[in-house]
Amino acid sequence: MLLSLGCQTMREGVIATLIFFIAGVLTVLVGAGIVPELWHLNHIVVFVGFLLLLLAPIILVSTFLLSVLPKAKERMDKCEH
């Protein structure tokens, strides 16, 4: 189910956010310092990095919004923290 939130889904959302954030920061740094300016390749790499940085909080906010849905509290109370 697409909008089902459980213990595993909550962890996956946080881990995906962390991965996207780290990948975005590293991609921006690589695009700004290492990639050559051949055919504006550095701008493309920096743009992809900014997209990854933009997706990180979107994933986190959507995971939070799923956690405040009705019946989500009941499912989250069954989790072992």
CA–CA gap between residue 58 and residue 23 (Å, rounded)? 15
Cα–Cα dist 70/66, whole Å: 9
Q: Which residue ranges make up each domain of the chain?
A: 7-64
Q: Angle at Cα 54 formed by Cα 10 and Cα 64, nearest 5°?
A: 25
State residue 43's pLDDT score.
Answer: 94
What's residue 3's pLDDT? 59
- pLDDT, residue 66, reads 81
Q: How far is CA 18 from CA 22, 31, 71, 78, in A?
A: 6, 20, 27, 25
What pLDDT digit, counting tens, does each position of 39-68 carry? 899 999 999 999 999 999 999 998 888 878
Who has greater pLDDT, 71 or 53?
Answer: 53
**Segment holding 10, helix H or strand E:** helix 7-33
Entry field: residues in the chain: 81
Residue 29's pLDDT is 96
